[in-house]
Amino acid sequence: MTLDEVRASFPVLERVAYLNAGTFGPLARGTVEAMRARHQLDLDLGRAGAWYRDETAALRGDARPRLAALLGVDPANIALTQSTSDGCQIVALGLGLKAHDEIVTTDSEHFGLIGALHASGARVVVTSPSPDVIAAAVGRHTRLLALSAVLWTTGEMLPLRDLKEETGLPVLVDGAQSVGAIEVDAEPFDFYTVSGQKWLCGPDTTGALYVREPEALAVARPSFLSQQSYTPDGAFDPQPGAARFDSGWIPPPSLSGLVAAVDAAPEWRFTRTFEVAERCRQLLAERFDVVTGPEHAGLVAFRPEREPAQVVERLAERGVVVREIPGTGLVRVSCGYWTSDGDLERLLDAL
154-213 residues near a copy of itself, rule: CB under 8 A:
197, 203-205
As to burial, measured by CB atoms within 10 angstroms (0-12 exposed, 13-18 middle, 19+ buried), residue 111 is: exposed
Task: State which residue, 8 or 124, has the beta carbon closest to a copy of itself.
Answer: 124
CB of 224 to a copy of itself, least distance (A): 5
Q: Which of 52, 72, 336, 338 is nearest to 192 (CA)?
A: 72
Binds a copy of itself by CB under 8 A, chosen from 6, 80, 116, 277:
116
Name residues contacting a copy of itself, limited to 212-231 (CB under 8 A). Answer: 218-224, 226-227, 230
| 43 lies in the binding site for a copy of itself (CB under 8 A) | yes
Regarding 309 and contact with a copy of itself (CB under 8 A), the answer is: no
Q: Measured from the CB atom, is 178 or 226 closer to a copy of itself?
A: 226
Give yes or no for residue 111 binding a copy of itself (CB under 8 A). yes
Beta strands in 141-258 (DSSP E): 142-148, 171-174, 191-195, 207-211, 227-230, 236-238
Alpha carbons 176 and 243: distance in angstroms, whole number: 20
Query: Which residue's CB is nearer to a copy of itself, number 66 or number 221?
Result: 221
**Residue 26 lies near a copy of itself (rule: CB under 8 A):** yes
Contact of 209 with 245, CB cutoff 8 Å:
yes
Q: Should residue 11 be labelled a site residue for a copy of itself when binding is judged by CB under 8 A? A: yes
Query: Is 115 a residue that touches a copy of itself (CB under 8 A)?
Result: yes
Whichever of 5 and 99 has its CB closer to a copy of itself, that residue is 99
Residues 88-107 that bind a copy of itself (CB under 8 A): 89, 93, 105-107
Compute the least distance from the CB of residue 52 to a copy of itself, in Å. Answer: 8
Residue from 185, 289, 313, 345 in contact with a copy of itself (CB under 8 A): 313
Interface with a copy of itself includes 69 (CB under 8 A)? no
Nearest alpha carbon to residue 343 among 5, 15, 11, 1: 15
- Please tell me whether residue 32 binds a copy of itself under the rule CB under 8 A: yes
Q: Which residues 267-286 are close enough to bind a copy of itself by CB under 8 A?
A: none
Residue 339 lies near a copy of itself (rule: CB under 8 A): no
Specify the residue, 26 or 214, whose C-beta has the smaller distance to a copy of itself: 26
Are 62 and 206 contacting, i.e. CB atoms less than 8 angstroms apart? no
Work out whether 18 is an interface residue with a copy of itself (CB under 8 A): yes
130 binds a copy of itself (CB under 8 A): no
Residue number, 70 or 312, with CB nearest to a copy of itself = 312
Distance, in Å, from the CA atom of 46 to the CA atom of 268, rounded to the nearest integer, reads: 40
Residues numbered 49 to 68 that lie near a copy of itself (CB under 8 A) are 49-50
Closest distance to a copy of itself from the beta carbon of 303 (Å): 20
Kindly tell me the burial class for residue 61, based on how many C-beta atoms sit within 10 Å of its own C-beta (0-12, 13-18, 19 or more): exposed
Number of residues forming the site for a copy of itself (CB under 8 A): 78
Torsion of Cα atoms, 253 then 255 then 260 then 266, to 10°? 150
Contact flag: residue 145 with a copy of itself (CB under 8 A) = no
Does residue 8 belong to the site contacting a copy of itself (CB under 8 A)?
no
Classify residue 301 as left (phi > 0), alpha (psi -120 to 50) or beta: beta
Q: Is 208 helix (H, G, I), strand (E, B) or coil?
A: strand
Binding status of residue 48 toward a copy of itself by CB under 8 A: yes
> For residue 270, how many other CB atoms are within 10 A of its CB?
18
Provide the minimum distance between the beta carbon of 294 and a copy of itself in the complex, in angstroms, as a whole number.
26
* Bridge-based pairing state of the strands 227-230 and 207-211: unpaired
Confirm or reject binding of residue 252 to a copy of itself (CB under 8 A).
Answer: yes
- Please report the DSSP string for 226-262 in residue order: GEEEE-TTS-EEEPSGGGGG--S---HHHHHHHHHHH
Question: Cβ contacts of residue 89 below 8 Å, gap of 6+?
Answer: 116, 119, 220, 221
Distances (CA, A) of 114 to 63, 126, 149, 175, 333: 27, 10, 14, 14, 23
Q: What is the CA radius of gyration of the chain?
A: 21
